[in-house]
Structure 1
């Protein structure tokens, strides 16, 4: 991370100076609502987000134990340097430099004291922020992207956190540094820049689903992430039988999990991915439609045409003519 930025984040805050001067517990007035009892655990978004903001950021307070708590917002933590120890829903997580930890509104978190060089930033996000960000991530839905977002917003998920070990993923590190810089400086158009940056962050994270960790008690979410990542990477040849065999599970179990967690069957998810890729090729390339069909996994071109028309209400050729920036400059096959 940029040295000047890291130095700014590492500046001892007034809250931290009080701790260094002997304060033994956190200042509840900074985190909990005025009406909350001394035993309340829920940190209030009204305390930690500036008025009217859907997303805000603050450095993690060091030098003190932060007792078990929940949030009425989505939080993600980025480890800028050093490490921090967390207990989330009873499971220990050691965040190392470059790691990301996402917590939904239902996660219970406890944080152990961090040292001076253990610098982390907390991003506080209201759920409606995702309503703004998702459309910026492309018109075509991504089942993997939607699933990750659902883990952060739905109440009926098995687990309440996702842990991304992405310290070696350069685009993610660059985006996090840009996001922190933008939020610290609040230049013109900062809100739009922040939204676009988070959108790009999610796009990059979905490209590295193999680096996403879910709680050890969340087998079904782990399988779903693996399935969606498998479809994204191997849509041309993907099959439910092959995936189940690679995981040592039976087809029925995997099929049931996919339907429960995503609301769709493996066949539908695979079809969506193939057609999404076909649409991209139709609008961005001049390749013959028959070649595009084969490249996304449909050797039977007639079947591809029928399926495409059923889903989109037009032929692949008409879709290309309506949507391609290259329309009028290509010879159709």
Structure 2
């Protein structure tokens, strides 16, 4: 079987020109949008005439100026490395990593060498975006997940792009390879097959993303403590008290209360209520237990309070969630 690198290593005509001149040769120059800003906007029509997914290599040997897209793009580093400026941040994309770029991300690439293979996966549909990607449900619900998602995204991840390391995920490299082979085979059903592969790819990348969320903060002592707090809340939100938790962890009650507020932005009581709501939501979707029984089971003695807090937190009533089952 043909090696996957062989699709991309041979130089095309534009790459030969770029190697000679060091200047980017753009086959789409006449179709770009040049409004009153200092970067290029690349339109969907440049790539997406009859396809929903396009796979193409980033041409080597020349600097690609700052630009943005009307579509989502994955930069898959098949071989070598790529120095880039993404939404104002300098980064180096290394082999076996993938960069996910949302619509309207601003993106600049520095010249690739002859052995650097950066493969672009371009997605036409507006349904594919980072917001949808981050919210894929992999049964990671609760106050710990909420904390990691909200806090980590503020500092380590970015609104319009994500960098994921796939070093230990050969199954995802296989999915990328299968998509590449399918794209270049140009069979009658290639579009449908690629769409199916893209759904698998999104789920696989989502698993990596959520796993990376859970490991980012473990080098920080106060955050390790908070993760222990949140774990205990998830285990016993119905009966856990701040005093018993402080005693268990060896902290003064007031100190722990202040630490929780500082690290999560929420009080201990708020976290307890949110965890109870998560548990209720899960039971509404997975059991036939009456709503009133669920309310009491997770720790709400007041039915009216349960309904009010549930509606405020999920923007849905308990009955509406039950009907989604």
- Could you state the TM-score of these two structures normalised by the residue count of structure 1? 0.60
For the structure 1 residues 302 and 166, does the alpha-carbon distance in structure 2 shift closer, same or farther, using more than 3 Å as the test?
Answer: closer
Deviations 1:226-277 (A, max 9, x none): x99x989x944689x99xx99x965156237xxxxxxxx8567645654565
Deviation at residue 302 of structure 1 after TM alignment: 6.6
Instruction: Tell me the distance in 2 between the aligned counterparts of 1:40 and 1:87.
Output: 15
Q: Which residue of the partner structure matches residue 7 of structure 2?
A: 8
**Is 2:261 the counterpart of 1:251?**
yes
Deviation at residue 185 of structure 1 after TM alignment: 2.8
Once the two structures are superposed, the pairs formed by residues 120-131 of structure 1 within 5 Å of their partners are 120-126=118-124, 128-130=126-128
Deviation at residue 32 of structure 1 after TM alignment: 6.3
1:190 to 167, 175, 193: 193
Instruction: Tell me the distance in 2 between the aligned counterparts of 1:267 and 1:171.
Output: 38
**Is 2:319 the counterpart of 1:313?**
yes
Q: Which residue of the partner structure matches residue 58 of structure 1?
A: 56
Deviations 1:62-81 (A, max 9, x none): 11111222223222211111
Deviation at residue 121 of structure 1 after TM alignment: 0.8
Unpaired runs of at least 5, structure 1: 214-222, 257-264, 324-333
Deviation at residue 109 of structure 1 after TM alignment: 2.1
For the structure 1 residues 50 and 282, does the alpha-carbon distance in structure 2 shift closer, same or farther, using more than 3 Å as the test?
Answer: same
**SS of the residue 1:63 aligns to:** coil
Deviations 1:252-309 (A, max 9, x none): 56237xxxxxxxx8567645654565578759xxxx9xxxx9xxxx9x847489879x
**Is 2:207 the counterpart of 1:204?**
yes
Superposed CA RMSD in Å reads 5.2
Q: Which residue of the partner structure matches residue 180 of structure 1?
A: 180
- Could you state the TM-score of these two structures normalised by the residue count of structure 2? 0.61
Instruction: Tell me the distance in 2 between the aligned counterparts of 1:270 and 1:32.
Output: 55
**SS of the residue 1:313 aligns to:** helix
Instruction: Tell me the distance in 2 between the aligned counterparts of 1:100 and 1:116.
Output: 19
Deviation at residue 119 of structure 1 after TM alignment: 0.7
Deviations 1:33-58 (A, max 9, x none): 25638986224133542215443221
Number of equivalenced pairs: 272
Instruction: Tell me the distance in 2 between the aligned counterparts of 1:51 and 1:212.
Output: 41
Q: Which residue of the partner structure matches residue 44 of structure 2?
A: 46
For the structure 1 residues 168 and 105, does the alpha-carbon distance in structure 2 shift closer, same or farther, using more than 3 Å as the test?
Answer: same
Unpaired runs of at least 5, structure 2: 217-222, 246-254, 311-316
Q: Which residue of the partner structure matches residue 331 of structure 1?
A: none
Q: Which residue of the partner structure matches residue 165 of structure 1?
A: 165
Instruction: Tell me the distance in 1 between the aligned counterparts of 2:163 and 2:215.
Output: 6
Deviation at residue 98 of structure 1 after TM alignment: 1.0
Q: Which residue of the partner structure matches residue 18 of structure 1?
A: 17
